[in-house]
Amino acid sequence: MSIKLGDTAPDFTADSSLGEINFYEFLGESWGILFSHPADFTPVCTTELGFTAKLKSEFEKRNTKVIALSVDKVEDHQKWIQDINETQNTKVDFPIIADQDRKVSELYDFIHPNASATATVRSLLIIDPLKKVRLIITYPASTGRNFDEVLRVLDSLQLVDNYKVTTPANWKNGDEVIVPPTISTADAQELYPKGVREVKPYLRFTPQPNI
């Protein structure tokens, strides 16, 4: 199965480091991040899960729950978490799915046979409260993720959902945003009380509306 942007994220029930989890029940009405790892006790993954744990307060501010996955068993996850906590000076308290039968990995297209016939690639999905897939990023097994980018996209998606704006290249929280081309300049002047800066008729900026 191939997951695409805008698709409904498939539900599943699986064992994890925190016991059996139903994905939809786990997410509730929150945003969610589901990310896969090639294997336990691997160096890049160890740094990633440790950094994710350190971002707990940032994810909480964004009403976002995180859940990881690898094809190893629960007992290995629990032992690995001890290593992560020790080496990364943190506490992993989010679940890691045990996907030994690869059911979840195949459901979410996390195994790319030309990269590895058995290990999951380093994929990450952002899922909104309606269970729609809003971002898919896939890295090679050798390259750790950029979590600043994950938070940046979360901020952008939540801003776009709450206000009629889009975000430009390299946008970060606090920067100007773009007025969508579907909104006329006359309507924009009323819709964006902080003002509209027109560079071209199709390229108009306004200060971020929620700050």
Give yes or no for residue 161 having a pLDDT over 70: yes
pLDDT tens string 176-193: 999 999 999 889 989 999
Model confidence at 1, in pLDDT bands (50, 70, 90)? low
pLDDT at 84: 97
As a whole number, mean pLDDT of residues 135-140 equals 91
Q: Where are the alpha helices (DSSP H) in 100-179?
A: 103-107, 147-162
Specify the range with the lowest mean pLDDT, choosing from 49-53, 75-79, 148-152, 187-191.
187-191
pLDDT at 116: 52
Q: What percent of the chain has pLDDT over 90?
A: 78
**Helix 43-54 / helix 74-88 crossing angle, nearest 10 deg:** 70
Question: Quick check: is 32 in a domain?
Answer: yes
Question: Quick check: is 189 in a domain?
Answer: yes
Q: Return the active site residues.
A: 45
Task: Count the domains in the chain.
Answer: 2
Q: How far apart are CA 77 and CA 97, in angstroms?
A: 8
pLDDT at 112: 57
pLDDT at 117: 45
Q: Are residues 23 and 89 in the same domain?
A: yes
Q: Are residues 65 and 141 in the same domain?
A: yes
The residues that bridge with 136 in the sheet, in sequence order, are: 125
Report, in angstroms and rounded to the nearest whole number, the Rg of the chain calculated over CA atoms: 19
The residues that bridge with 14 in the sheet, in sequence order, are: 21
Q: How far apart are CA 129 and CA 64, in angstroms?
A: 9
The total number of residues written for the chain in this structure: 211
**Residue 65 is encoded by which pair of tokens?**
């729950």
Question: Quick check: is 137 in a domain?
Answer: yes
Any idea what the CATH number is for the domain that residue 25 is in?
3.40.30.10
As a whole number, mean pLDDT of residues 117-124 equals 67
pLDDT tens string 18-58: 999 999 999 999 999 999 988 899 999 999 999 999 999 99
Model confidence at 122, in pLDDT bands (50, 70, 90)? confident
Phi and psi dihedrals of 140, rounded to 5?
-70, 160
As a whole number, mean pLDDT of residues 4-30 equals 97
Question: Quick check: is 157 in a domain?
Answer: no
Any idea what the CATH number is for the domain that residue 202 is in?
3.30.1020.10
Q: Where are the alpha helices (DSSP H) in 8-141?
A: 23-27, 43-54, 56-61, 74-88, 103-107
Count the helices and strands in the chain (H runs, E runs): 7, 10
As a whole number, mean pLDDT of residues 101-107 equals 89
Q: Are residues 121 and 63 in the same domain?
A: yes
Quote the domain boundaries for residue 188.
163-206
Give yes or no for residue 113 having a pLDDT over 90: no
Question: Quick check: is 6 in a domain?
Answer: no
Q: How far apart are CA 145 and CA 150, in angstroms?
A: 9
Q: Are residues 104 and 20 in the same domain?
A: yes
Question: Quick check: is 156 in a domain?
Answer: no
